[in-house]
Structure 1
Amino acid sequence: MRNTLFTALLALVFGFLGAASWSLTGLADNRTRAYLLDNPEILRDVAQALSEQEARERLSAIGDELFEPFPGVVLGNPQGSKVMIEFTDYNCPYCEASLADVQRLVAEDPELKVVMREWPIFEGSEGAARMALAAGMQGKYREFHEAMFQFGPTTPEAVEAAAQSIGLDMDRARDDAASEAVSLELVRNLSLARSLGFGGTPAFVAGDFPVEGAVGYDRLKELIDNADS
């Protein structure tokens, strides 16, 4: 398997360099192989480029559906010209760690629209995700999103306390959280995440580039700026 991957990367390297006429068998045995082994960053760069290309192809196949938010479930400017997607889970410590980065990006750029995708993959997260979508339907998604992280693990009591703390109409919120519309949104988000090849939260999309993990403010800003260029 390792030799197969090496040969495939060799093909990509020399395909990019315009040396397709060279013998792959020869490449595996001569000075070129030694050179690449001595300079593994070339293979890493090609592997990364291939991964990024595949991610962009998956993103292109999804189309505009990814960028259509559930009613009210947006951070920043709902009409903003710059768009970033975030898949999140309230029991995910890396999502909580990324909260300040996203808040900073929104505060610094009045044109930034962050479409939030509730993706409850941790045990006990679904109730909080449902209430977050219900809060969006009352125009208070941001408030609930921030409060839920402050209230800690997503016990039913914590979810209720977070919702009450931001002044939700609780009877309506409970009904909305249990609604078919919210159920369908959670299924849609799961499908979108899988289509993009995401394996966990947080996960982001800016422009034509998906990225997974708590990558930090600088990386997210770079993605947004590149998408705008």
Structure 2
Amino acid sequence: MKNHFLTALIALMFGFAGAGLWSATGLGNGQVRDYLVSNPDILPEMAEAYQQGQAKDRLAQVSDTVEDGFPGAVLGNPQGSKVLVKFTDYNCTYCRQSVAGVDQLIAADPDLKVVVREWPIFEGSEGPARMGLAAAKQGKYAAFYHAMFELGPPTAQTVEQAGQIAGLDMEAARTFAASQEASDALAQNISLASSLGFSGTPSWVAGGQVIEGLVPTARLAEALETEG
């Protein structure tokens, strides 16, 4: 499957490059092929440009939805006009490592709104994600989110502890965590992640760009300053 994908991608790149070079220089197909074979360093750039174009197309299809997260599941300024979307999992080491960088972005920009989308992709993550939504429902999401990551990989005990640290009404939180509303919110996050082509956490939407993985904070800050 991987080899078929690479073959198809290379074929596409040769096709696009061939058309571009032919129109720009008048080179024939054979000459274009020879040029590309002699300059293989441009292929990664072409692949990246192609992937970015595909990502923008996918984002355009869900742009009206992706920034409109579950009410209360927000860090920073809830009314901010600059929006960073984070797809996250409490069992994800890279998500935990990204917390400090996101906090730095928030501290540096009072207009930044961080929409957090709970995306439980690891085993044992759905329960904490549901409790995160329950915390958002009670207006105490940021405290729960930070406590969960500070306490390490989630367990039933750490989820309970994080809820207490956040000051949740635990009985109400457990009831909401088991609700259809929580199920629907997680289903939407899963659907959006799939639509955007994400393969893991953390994943981001920033400044009209789709970004995957643990990236430098400066990369996110740059994207937030570049709309479209």
Tell me the TM-score normalised to structure 2 length. Answer: 0.91
Q: Could you tell me which runs of 5 or more consecutive residues in structure 1 were left unpaired when the two chains were aligned.
A: none
Match of 2:17 in 1: 13
Confirm or deny: 8 A CA contact 2:18 2:32 kept in the other structure. no
- Paired residues, what number? 223
Paired residue secondary structure (2:225): helix
Q: 1:83, 1:3 → 2: CA distance?
A: 37
User: Are 2:47 and 1:36 equivalent residues in the alignment?
Assistant: no
Matches within 5 A, 1:148-227: 148-227=148-227
Confirm or deny: 8 A CA contact 2:83 2:207 kept in the other structure. yes
User: Are 2:118 and 1:118 equivalent residues in the alignment?
Assistant: yes
Matches within 5 A, 1:52-201: 52-201=52-201
- CA shift for structure 1 position 4: 5.5
Confirm or deny: 8 A CA contact 2:81 2:111 kept in the other structure. yes
Confirm or deny: 8 A CA contact 1:14 1:20 kept in the other structure. no
Confirm or deny: 8 A CA contact 2:90 2:120 kept in the other structure. yes
- CA shift for structure 1 position 23: 2.6
- CA shift for structure 1 position 10: 2.8
Tell me the TM-score normalised to structure 1 length. Answer: 0.91
Confirm or deny: 8 A CA contact 1:127 1:154 kept in the other structure. no
Describe the shift of the 1:142–1:152 C-alpha distance in structure 2 as closer, same or farther (beyond 3 A).
same
- Deviation digits for residues 145-194 of structure 1 (CA, Å, limit 9, x no counterpart): 00001122211111011101121111111111111111100011000000
Paired residue secondary structure (1:226): coil
Q: 2:162, 2:32 → 1: CA distance?
A: 62
Letter in 2 for 1:174: R
Confirm or deny: 8 A CA contact 2:207 2:225 kept in the other structure. no
Paired residue secondary structure (1:227): coil
Describe the shift of the 1:200–1:26 C-alpha distance in structure 2 as closer, same or farther (beyond 3 A).
same
- CA shift for structure 1 position 3: 6.2
- CA shift for structure 1 position 27: 2.6
CA RMSD of aligned residues (A): 1.8
Describe the shift of the 1:161–1:6 C-alpha distance in structure 2 as closer, same or farther (beyond 3 A).
closer
Q: 2:188, 2:38 → 1: CA distance?
A: 47
- Deviation digits for residues 7-43 of structure 1 (CA, Å, limit 9, x no counterpart): 4323323444543853323432x4x244323xx1x22
Q: 1:6, 1:157 → 2: CA distance?
A: 50
Q: 1:20, 1:184 → 2: CA distance?
A: 54
Query: Percent sequence identity over matched residues?
Result: 48
- CA shift for structure 1 position 109: 0.3
Confirm or deny: 8 A CA contact 1:11 1:20 kept in the other structure. no
Q: 1:194, 1:167 → 2: CA distance?
A: 33
Confirm or deny: 8 A CA contact 1:86 1:205 kept in the other structure. yes
Describe the shift of the 1:154–1:4 C-alpha distance in structure 2 as closer, same or farther (beyond 3 A).
closer
Describe the shift of the 1:157–1:220 C-alpha distance in structure 2 as closer, same or farther (beyond 3 A).
same
Paired residue secondary structure (1:19): helix
